Amino acid sequence: MISFVTTNKGKFVEAKKIAEKFSIEIRWVNLEYPEIQGESLEEVAYFSIKFLSKEIDDMFFIEDSGLFINSLKGFPGIYSSYVFKTIGNEGILKLMEGVKDRSAYFKAVVAFYDRSEIHTFIGITEGRIANEIRGDSGFGFDPIFEYNGRTFAEMGEGKNEVSHRRKALEKFFSWLTKNF
Ligand code: ITT
């Protein structure tokens, strides 16, 4: 049994479904932890793992993600939570007014601590920033992230088939079945 530390229930439910396909059982640890102001998702995840390794005594993993907009040099990136809480989807659309290159990607980093080493797994899904807010499923930036013409929030469960989080988790679980 491996613990998944996250305050986000949606993330846990999604991970549990994917884990089942690999016959892996995961446990939800709903624990908030400090996130440092690093330069990359990987760096932030390393510090979080180091902090959590003192709080938890079995094997565990975390998952951190963000939206990276190319014309904004990767913003909001590691600041995604804060930017979503402050300026939100409307704010991002405002920043993108009149911008031609609307390409963007979601990136997820899964970081797993086996009590001796930290292993990271990355998932990326490319798309573009929509011209307006569309759809009502999902969370966060889903209503403004377009993938093949539809926003993630218009794709319902279909988002989970192609999401950055799914890709990172599948890499992790498949590695886990071979190594543990
Ligand atoms: P943790 O406790 O696991 O950290 P969290 O909700 O803070 O949960 P993240 O830090 O990984 O999650 O996510 C950062 C922000 O990026 C999140 O608040 C969303 O606004 C956005 N985000 C991440 N994944 C997303 C997705 O699949 N769809 C839409 N927005 C996403």
C-alpha to C-alpha distance for 144 and 141, rounded to whole angstroms: 6
CB 107 within 8 A of CB 122: yes
For residue 128, with 0-12 CB atoms within 10 Å meaning exposed, 13-18 middle and 19 or more buried, which class applies?
Answer: buried
pLDDT at 180: 86
Q: Which of 79, 55, 54 is nearest to 66 (CA)?
A: 79
CA 47 to centroid of ligand 1, rounded, Å: 17
As given in the structure block, the two tokens for residue 36 are: 């440092």
Q: What atom in ligand 1 is closest to the CA of residue 163?
A: 27
Which domains does the chain carry?
A: 2-179 (3.90.950.10)
pLDDT at 174: 97
Mutation choice for ligand 1 from 139, 151, 154, 165, CB with most ligand atoms inside 8 A: 139
- Taking the C-alpha atoms of residue 139 and residue 120, their distance in angstroms, rounded to an integer, is 24
Q: Report the pLDDT value the prediction gives residue 10, as an integer from 0 to 100.
A: 85
Taking 70 as the pLDDT cut, the residues of the chain under it are: none
| Residues with active-site annotation | 64
Q: For residue 41, what is the enclosing H or E element?
A: helix 41-52
